[in-house]
Structure 1
Amino acid sequence: MSISKQTSATRMLHPPSLLPSRQVEMETVLQQKIIEATHCVEKQLDAELEKLDNLDISDFEKLREQRLKKLKLLQQQKQNWLTMGHGEYSELHDEKEFFEVSKKSENIVCLFYKDDSPRCKIVDHHLKILARKHIEAKFCKLNVMQCPFLTARLRIKIIPTIALIVNGKTKDYIVGFTDLGNRDDFLTETLEYRISLSGAITFEENLSSENTKKTWLSQVSKPKTIKGPNNSNSDDSDED
């Protein structure tokens, strides 16, 4: 077949007139979907505005009372936390004391440490700061040499290891500095964000927190949650 005949055959298979019409059809469908989505949002906004327009003084008073009630409950909860020793970073001296704390506090951030570990002292510095900021959790530490049974039960091999207990159950571990960028000069906010992934503390969303997230994500490929504490070899073993 000659070149001219091939070109003619190609044109017959793909008529030029059909290509623009197909593109116009796709654009029309897309525009219709955008219009439908816009109308849906407008209806939702109109419904919310109508609710506000229909509110009278008694409704505003009810909303105010509900808000005050929530604030009072929150204040009472904060007072209960402080009574249980939240708001400070304390040392637990044995396993019995650990179990007593576990009965009182639902959320616990506990460092398992050794005296001769420099990295444990680094974690100490950050946890002292976070304990004052996050009274919703009990921050504490426990010397592994004084709690062999608990250390074995939780399968703690790497020091430092932070156990994160949520609603009375061991939810997560931060083993060594692997999840903190494998560096000793990590930010307090980095540790704060990593702890919050377990649900033990609440991480407030703001511009600074977004930067913290980006920094953390750039250092760690993915969060290692709900794992055993034997998955890191970046720090000292308590079996040394």
Structure 2
Amino acid sequence: MKVKKCSLDLSMEQVLKHVAQTVEKQLDSELERLDTLDSNDLEAIRQQRIAEMKKRAQQKQEWIANGHGEYTEIDGEKEFFVVCNKSDNVVCHFYRADTPRCRIVDMHLKTLAKKHVETRFVKLDVERAPFLTSRLKIRVIPTIGLVKQNKTKDFIVGFTDLGNCDDFSTEILEWRIARADVIEYSGDLLVPPAEARKQRALTVHSKKTIRGPQDSDSDLDLSD
């Protein structure tokens, strides 16, 4: 049994070493490419970057003019459709005033609305939208509807996807919303944030181990 364990450890070490070497080669290749650029190439890249920044700034102004950047309440079903027609990305919290967990959702969405200006964050009292809630088959409160380009892509129903607890973090809700592609997100969509941090820490530790003294495996017993 010890032989199998040692073989597995060595195999994992080899994989991690290979990954580290591949990343280093990619970085070296990119640095070499940058070194070969002349002044005209660099100026073209600079101008392109400036144009992108100007376009982004203009787009941000348009978003803010449409109510982005704030978490607001909408009046009813008619306004819901207006909001979805004006904004490509919409996060809508379907709530009921007498449901305490809706206040937890309010707290997190208020934070995310300021962070993700590219998306419109709203809330709608289900008592004011009986037709819409029936059409969308909303039966659990709170429910968060995720809308992209005027089409409902996904729903976050209750807190089941958020750890099934009331004290979930804003980042886990952000990650869950991002999985529907209605906000810009740079993290790993396949792995929740807390788990991703653990994996990164393990990878860093493994790299340090790989780059450590090569005689650290001298006491491995492979004779069993």
Match of 2:193 among 199, 204, 212: 212
The answer on whether the counterparts of 1:108 and 1:165 sit within 8 Å (CA) in structure 2 is yes
Q: Which has the higher contact order (CA 8 A, sep 6+)?
A: 2
Hey, what's the Cα distance between the residues in 1 that align with 2:187 and 2:163? 21
Aligned pair in 2 of structure 1 residues 82, 130: CA closer, same or farther (>3 Å)?
A: same
Provide the TM-score with structure 2 as the length reference. Answer: 0.71
Helix, strand or coil at the partner of 1:158: coil
Match of 2:112 among 122, 126, 130: 130
Residue of structure 2 equivalent to 1:236: none
Look up the equivalent residue of 2:83 and give its one-letter code.
V
**Structure 1: unaligned runs, 5 residues or longer:** 1-33, 218-240
Aligned pair in 2 of structure 1 residues 188, 53: CA closer, same or farther (>3 Å)?
A: closer
Aligned length: 178
Deviation at 1:157, TM superposition (A): 0.6
**Cα offsets for 1:107-158 (capped at 9, x unmatched):** 0000001111011111111111111111111000001110111111111111
Residue of structure 2 equivalent to 1:171: 153
Match of 1:183 among 165, 174, 198: 165
Match of 1:79 among 46, 54, 61: 61
The answer on whether the counterparts of 1:111 and 1:142 sit within 8 Å (CA) in structure 2 is yes
Aligned pair in 2 of structure 1 residues 194, 55: CA closer, same or farther (>3 Å)?
A: same
Residue of structure 1 equivalent to 2:72: 90
Look up the equivalent residue of 1:82 and give its one-letter code.
I
Deviation at 1:52, TM superposition (A): 3.0
Aligned pair in 2 of structure 1 residues 153, 202: CA closer, same or farther (>3 Å)?
A: same
Residue of structure 2 equivalent to 1:64: 46
The answer on whether the counterparts of 1:107 and 1:165 sit within 8 Å (CA) in structure 2 is yes
Larger-gyration structure (1/2): 1
Match runs of 1:35-54 below 5 Å? 48=30, 51-54=33-36
Query: Could you say what the CA RMSD is over the residues aligned between the two structures, in angstroms?
Result: 2.9
Hey, what's the Cα distance between the residues in 2 that align with 1:105 and 1:47? 40
Deviation at 1:181, TM superposition (A): 1.1
**Structure 2: unaligned runs, 5 residues or longer:** 1-16, 199-224
The answer on whether the counterparts of 1:181 and 1:216 sit within 8 Å (CA) in structure 2 is no
Deviation at 1:76, TM superposition (A): 1.1
Look up the equivalent residue of 1:212 and give its one-letter code.
P
The answer on whether the counterparts of 2:172 and 2:192 sit within 8 Å (CA) in structure 1 is no
Residue of structure 2 equivalent to 1:12: none
Deviation at 1:202, TM superposition (A): 1.9
Look up the equivalent residue of 1:157 and give its one-letter code.
R
